[in-house]
Amino acid sequence: MTDYAVVNPATGETVATYDTFTDAQIEDAVARAAAAAVTWAATSPADRAAVIRRIAELHRERKDELGSIIVREMGKPIAAAVGEVEFATDIIEFYADNIEKITADQPLDILGDGTAVVRRAPLGALLGIMPWNFPAYQVARFAAPNLAIGNTIILKHAPQCPESAAAIEAIYRDAGLPDGGYVNVYATNEQAATIIADPRVHGVSVTGSERAGAAVAEVAGRNLKKVALELGGSDPFIVLSADDLDAVVQNAVDARLDNNGQSCNGAKRFIVVDGLYEEFTSKFVASLAAVKAEDPTQEETVLGPLSSLAAAERLQQQVDNAVAQGATLLTGGTREGAFFAPTVLADVTADMDVYREELFGPAAVVYRVADEDAAVKVANDTSFGLGSYVFTTDAEQAERVANGIEAGMVYVNLVLADSPELPFGGVKRSGTSRELGLLAADEFVNKKLIRKA
């Protein structure tokens, strides 16, 4: 039986299939990870850092191989796929470089005599459930901080990324982790639930859809396990003023087309003040319409196919439904197989389904608003709260809007600025935790108080 297969979205070809693990293999994986947790936790931070740094080096050495796998699995253009692996490398190195800071005692000011510190100790084996849209990056930002703390990793990758899963497991093994320090499992959802319930597993992190997050959180809650969730987003891109509107438009295009439009924190709703709306929208539509979905194996390709035929069909249904409900299609709205043309919708109102939906692909919605207050109101009128983007020439306005937006991240006058040291995460239905930065190493850790007389 197999749910795991590499199906090239550009061609529809099934490249390879992988057998789902048996229950005995799942038991072996959990047992190995639990046993390795004892050894790894007892390893000094300096020695852990050396292994983590070697993991980064192997990502760098194998970036072309990993990039090619990513292209086959989910259609990311090759230049972006290799760039993803390079970013994963930077993330892993960040935790190697900062391991002493991550594991250092935190002295406390106390009332009375004596001393007190908070000492960060690992929890043990953790389960990570990762998505298909960033096969290397998502794994790095979960695994690296937790390995730095001293936890071990059981990794269930997306069923369409089994080749990435195997290649990444090989890197962690070849870097010198103890056996079981990082274990890949080709598990069913039912087997994943069994892993979460296992008393030898001490937490679970999931990046994915709201439905997946809710399902995992339900199982984790029943078993009193810590859960970290990074879910969907419908990030606003607010344009209030501009000295160079062409530059703002290019930022908007870059933010929408990144990862073929399949980033949780990609800008999806473009909210523009009335005085700039017509010019912005005209330029935005023209720029997007000029981008063609092409062969992702070519270095010059900007936009490849969606991750699967099913994903393209789902986006087509959303766009068609929006038009049927009264939205105006300004460009695009068509597909060939899994390739979807850049698409812009306008005249969307709150009674339309698309107003509440996440568009996962190269499709955008533009909104005209009267002023700053109206822009913030539209931006917040969503169940999501992951990232957001604000473009303005007024620094005080930027502060007001950043404070008013209900999101985990606000980027002012720039896009695609994620970095290893910056925490990533959302609020509302976008998630409950933070990844990247030093905060990521505080998710699955025992903050142990040690009080001395």
Domain harbouring 374, CATH code? 3.40.309.10
Q: What is the CATH number of the domain that holds 17?
A: 3.40.605.10
Average pLDDT over residues 56-61: 98
User: What is the token pair recorded at 69?
Assistant: 């796998």
The answer on 225 and 241 residing in a single domain is: no
pLDDT at 3 over 90: no
The answer on 124 and 46 residing in a single domain is: yes
Q: Which tens digit of pLDDT belongs to each residue from 223-236?
A: 999 999 999 999 99
The answer on 149 and 98 residing in a single domain is: yes
Q: How crowded is residue 196: how many other Cβ atoms within 10 Å of its Cβ? A: 23
Q: Which residue has the tokens 């190493």?
A: 441
The answer on 204 and 60 residing in a single domain is: yes
- What residue numbers bound the domain in which 414 lies? 235-419
pLDDT band of residue 2 (cuts 50, 70, 90) is low
425 assigned to some structural domain = no
pLDDT band of residue 1 (cuts 50, 70, 90) is low
Q: Which tens digit of pLDDT belongs to each residue from 302-352?
A: 999 999 999 999 999 999 999 999 999 999 999 999 999 999 999 999 999
260 assigned to some structural domain = yes
123 assigned to some structural domain = yes
Alpha-helix residue ranges (DSSP H) falling in 258-329: 274-289, 309-324
Cα atoms in the Cβ-side hemisphere of radius 13 Å centred on 116: 10
Average pLDDT over residues 167-175: 98
The answer on 299 and 273 residing in a single domain is: yes
Q: Which tens digit of pLDDT belongs to each residue from 98-150?
A: 999 999 999 999 999 999 999 999 999 999 999 999 999 999 999 999 999 99
Mind telling me the catalytic residues? 230, 264
424 assigned to some structural domain = no
Strands (E), 274-388: 328-331, 335-336, 339-340, 343-346, 363-369
